[in-house]
């Protein structure tokens, strides 16, 4: 079993447990179900920088990144810095996140929030909306085409944007469908954790222009973004680079200022 298989196996147990504690109809009673979502895809299309900044405490590849920060402070710092959106890790076991992080970030800022999660069940999409997300992430490596269709169409019915993440050409080809807003290329091989921006470059031409192209993982310099922009990328997911500092918001601000020069 690779790490992705382990995460998915644990996630299935977790979702079953959560469903027994809070039913789908209880989630539907959340006041945030009535909230109008803010489109991340639209924000990226209208931005010259396209930064999606992440809140991430730890990861299986890097262990602890930053455990000491308050998610609300990070969110407000990112919003002040001028990011297009914020990605909030909600997986507990492997990334140290929670749905509480999502709702605290929602209470603090008005920018689009992406629920970064391993979604394998429609229940998690309801959760995302009920806890204040504007966008969900779907990972092609753990879903078949039918699941991607079902989950993305459900998200759209709730007013959520959909970012679909791929790692290779095979995943991309099975995933292209009208119910997606953004196609993200993860430069990190989830089996080996090696990172290469060549993954984004090589897949760029195969992503139709109807979708906002997003490059994820391993982006740590302004030069890398300027290079990827020439391949049509409009969104750039950056987590570790900001989170490993004492003030992620200030770090994001300096990065965006440099990008705008």
- The residues that are catalytic are 54, 56, 116, 165, 186, 216-217
DSSP state letter for 188:
B
Distance of CA 248 to the CA centre of its chain: 17
Chain length of the chain:
261
Contact assessment for residue 250 and residue 199, using Cβ atoms and an 8 Å cutoff: no
Contact assessment for residue 132 and residue 103, using Cβ atoms and an 8 Å cutoff: yes
Which H or E element spans position 54?
strand 51-55
Strands 51-55 and 235-238: parallel
Strands 113-116 and 212-216: unpaired
Interatomic CA distance for residues 166 and 95, integer angstroms: 20
Contact assessment for residue 238 and residue 51, using Cβ atoms and an 8 Å cutoff: yes
Contact assessment for residue 152 and residue 135, using Cβ atoms and an 8 Å cutoff: no
CA atoms 63, 98, 93, 40: torsion sign: negative
């Amino acid at each position: 079993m690779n790490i992705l298989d382990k995460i998915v196996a644990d996630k299935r147990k977790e979702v079953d447990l959560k469903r027994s504690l809070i039913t789908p109809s209880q989630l539907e009673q959340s006041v945030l179900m009535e909230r109008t979502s803010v489109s991340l895809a639209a924000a990226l299309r209208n931005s010259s920088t396209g930064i999606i900044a992440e809140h991430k405490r730890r990861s299986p590849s890097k262990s602890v990144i930053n455990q000491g920060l308050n998610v609300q402070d990070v969110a407000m710092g990112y919003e002040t810095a001028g990011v297009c959106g914020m990605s909030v890790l909600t997986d507990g076991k492997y990334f140290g996140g929670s749905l509480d992080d999502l709702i605290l970030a929602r209470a603090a800022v008005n920018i689009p929030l992406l629920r970064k999660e391993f979604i394998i069940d429609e229940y998690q999409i309801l959760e995302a909306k009920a806890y204040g997300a504007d966008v969900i992430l779907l990972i092609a490596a753990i879903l078949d085409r039918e699941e991607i269709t079902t989950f993305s169409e459900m998200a759209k019915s709730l007013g959520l944007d959909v970012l679909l993440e791929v790692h290779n050409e095979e995943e991309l080809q099975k995933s292209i469908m009208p119910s997606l807003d953004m196609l993200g290329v993860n430069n990190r091989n989830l089996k080996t954790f090696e990172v290469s921006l060549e993954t984004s470059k090589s897949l760029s031409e195969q992503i139709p222009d109807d979708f906002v192209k997003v490059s994820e993982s391993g982006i740590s310099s302004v030069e890398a973004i300027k290079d990827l922009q020439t391949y049509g990328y409009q969104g750039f997911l950056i987590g570790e680079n900001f989170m490993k500092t004492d003030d992620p918001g200030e770090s994001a601000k300096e990065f965006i200022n440099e990008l705008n020069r």
